[in-house]
Amino acid sequence: MVTDQTAVRRAARLAAKIADYQNKETKKLVEGLGRLAQGDVDLTVVPESADGDTMEVKATFEKIAEAVNKCVEVINGLNTDVAMLAQAAMEGRLNIRADAGKHSGAYGAIVHGVNETIGRLVGFLDSMPSPAMIIDNDFTILYMNDLGARVGGKTPAQVVGTKCYDHFKTSDCKTARCACQQAITGGSEATSETDAHPAIGVDLDISYTAVPIKDGQGHVMGALEVVTDLTAVKRAARVAKKIADFQAVETNKLVDGLERLAKGEINFTIATAPADDDTKEVKQTFDVIAHAVNTTVQATQTITEAAKLVAGGDLTVEIKERSSEDELMHALSAMVKMLNEVVSDVKKAADNVAAGSQELSSASTGMSQGASEQLRPPKRHLPPWRRCLPISGRTPTMPYRRKK
């Protein structure tokens, strides 16, 4: 009995052929998915060509390959956007964002998350209390925080793409003192202090530090600059020096005046120099001191004048004590009082001496007259002409007779 195995054999050969095709395509898919799982997105799955026997199987693998290739495409797109964001951040172009809407599901969430991370970083920089910017090697501004733009009266969007030296306008710009230039050419951090004039009427004293930005190979791509406003500090230093200079001049003036006063010179007056808003409070202090010194000088002048009057014999001068503790005026007043008492005593003594002398003179005169009377002969015994003559030591003469 003969059995026809042609159909069976043919079916077996067809099944083996299809199985072999499936195995090859399955292996290809597994290999591709394995590479994809490892992050290799440089692949494309393409099913082998088929004939009439494997056409249906190929169609199935084509659908699977299409899905795998779509995954690769999506991951490649994600990778491209993430790499673009990373490169932009590395270069300092912190305003660059990827379109998360191009990605769906978790991939869109990843892109959105990276955007948010960069945005948060920019937010930190924008909230810094100091101006900050990133420039490339040509000094073109790639990023500037809000404060840095505001000092020049602009927004960050307005300054991006312009030159940094056109924004801050410092004395270091376009010179070898520029810290950014030093960081870019030297590849290391640099710091400098200068003045900046970012807008009309805005004059700042600043200190700024520049740090080089490098790519993955270590090549300098630009610089990050952070600025510290020293305007208040510098102004305070200038005011402090101004006050110190004012104090030095006025102190020397006071010392000179006190030394002159200590040497007995009293013909001078101390006057403080004019002051402005920065030195007016210090001037008030020195005005008080100068007034005290001038008052002392005036008091000394008054004492000197009084002493001169006393030395000239005027003991009627009035000496007034300036306070209950004014020992000098008290001593001078006591001296004048004692001199008055001495003069009074001397005057009394002189008056007594004068009175005694007068009495003595009167007594002497009386005694002399008495003696003369005793030596003179009586008038009745004298000749008539002799009686007319006064007693004297002159030689007697005849009385004067009138001619007839």
Which tops the pLDDT comparison, 346 or 274?
274
Provide the pLDDT for residue 404.
Answer: 46
Is a pLDDT exceeding 90 seen at residue 311? no
Inter-helix orientation angle 105-126/55-91, to 10°: 0
Q: What is the mean predicted confidence (pLDDT) over 1-9?
A: 78
Is a pLDDT exceeding 90 seen at residue 302? no
Is a pLDDT exceeding 80 seen at residue 353? no
Provide the pLDDT for residue 171.
Answer: 96
Is a pLDDT exceeding 80 seen at residue 369? no
Q: What is the mean predicted confidence (pLDDT) over 156-174?
A: 95
The pairs formed by 117-120 with CB atoms below 8 angstroms and a separation of 24 or more are 118/85, 118/89, 118/94
Q: What is the mean predicted confidence (pLDDT) over 176-204?
A: 95
Q: What is the mean predicted confidence (pLDDT) over 341-361?
A: 75
Whether the Cβ atoms of residue 246 and residue 282 lie closer than 8 Å to each other = yes
The residues facing 229 across adjacent strands are 206
Provide the pLDDT for residue 249.
Answer: 94
Is a pLDDT exceeding 60 seen at residue 157? yes
Q: What is the mean predicted confidence (pLDDT) over 113-138?
A: 90
Q: What is the mean predicted confidence (pLDDT) over 154-177?
A: 95
CA count, 13 A, side-chain hemisphere, 113? 7
Which of the four pLDDT bands, split at 50, 70 and 90, describes residue 158?
very high
Is a pLDDT exceeding 70 seen at residue 384? no
Distance CA 121, CA 96 (A): 12
Is a pLDDT exceeding 70 seen at residue 378? no
Distance CA 210, CA 354 (A): 108
Query: Which range among 71-75, 332-336, 346-350 has the greatest average pLDDT?
Result: 71-75
Distance CA 243, CA 209 (A): 31
> What phi and psi values does residue 85 have, to the nearest 5 degrees?
-65, -40
Arithmetic mean of pLDDT over the chain: 85
- CA distances 122 to 24, 88, 248, 392, 404, Å, are 51, 13, 50, 141, 157
Query: Which range among 55-64, 174-183, 351-360 has the greatest average pLDDT?
Result: 174-183
pTM, two decimals, is 0.59
Which tops the pLDDT comparison, 212 or 367?
212
Q: What is the mean predicted confidence (pLDDT) over 169-185?
A: 96
Q: What is the pLDDT of residues 24-56, one digit of tens each?
A: 989 988 998 899 888 888 889 999 998 888 898
Q: Which two tokens stand for residue 105?
A: 């599901």
